[in-house]
Amino acid sequence: MPRRFLKRYLPEPHRVTGRRELRWLGRLLEDPFLLHLNRRSVAGGVAVGLFTAFLPIPFQMILAAALAIFFRVNIVLSVALVWVSNPLTMPALFYFTYMVGTWFLGTPVFPAAFEPNLAWFWHELGAIWRPLLLGSVVTGLLVSLAGYGSVHLLWRFYIIAHLRQRRRRRQRRAAGRPRG
């Protein structure tokens, strides 16, 4: 099952709940769905993580964890998938989401000479925040829905293939036995 594959890479539940940094969450981490590996929990964790990754906000991991707790989905996957937007991919992702936002709003692209410093960003933010935010939410929703659906489909395909393989093994064993 896909569960075995995921268990290889994800930490064991007692290691997550026993972390000193997470004690402030208290009993919230005791919900079994937050660390469970079933189709619903994994697909939801993927969706929450991908949606949060496209939001142009600081502390995305905290928001992903809060949303995972609220929706009762896999918290480890949701926090890990936030790293789709990392310092290397952020400029391209946010430029793309800005372009999507300008397309939805019907506004022209704001011409600005890029300077890689925080002062430039805060100065230009007043002109670009609406299309950036709208594009980020729209793109995040679409990508998270695609991730959710993909996990459901892949999980289903895997189970169908596993059941077919089991049926073939049973048929081979039945064909090899003498009758009577």
In the numeric block, the tokens 């002062």 are attached to: 119
pLDDT in tens, the chain (180 residues): 466 666 666 666 656 666 665 565 666 666 667 777 889 999 999 999 999 999 999 889 989 988 998 998 988 899 999 999 998 998 889 889 999 999 999 988 877 776 767 777 777 777 788 999 999 999 999 999 999 999 999 999 999 999 999 999 998 888 877 665
User: Residue 1's pLDDT is what?
Assistant: 46
User: Residue 168's pLDDT is what?
Assistant: 92
Total domains, the chain: 1
> Domain limits at 149?
2-176
Cβ proximity of 50 and 127 under 8 Å: no
Contacts of 96 (CB under 8 A, 6+ apart): 135, 139
AA identity, residue 172: R
Cβ proximity of 55 and 63 under 8 Å: yes
Cβ proximity of 2 and 158 under 8 Å: yes
Whether this prediction's pTM lies above 0.85 is answered by no
Cβ proximity of 74 and 42 under 8 Å: yes
Rounded CA separation 146/113 (Å) = 34
DSSP 55: S
Rounded CA separation 164/125 (Å) = 55
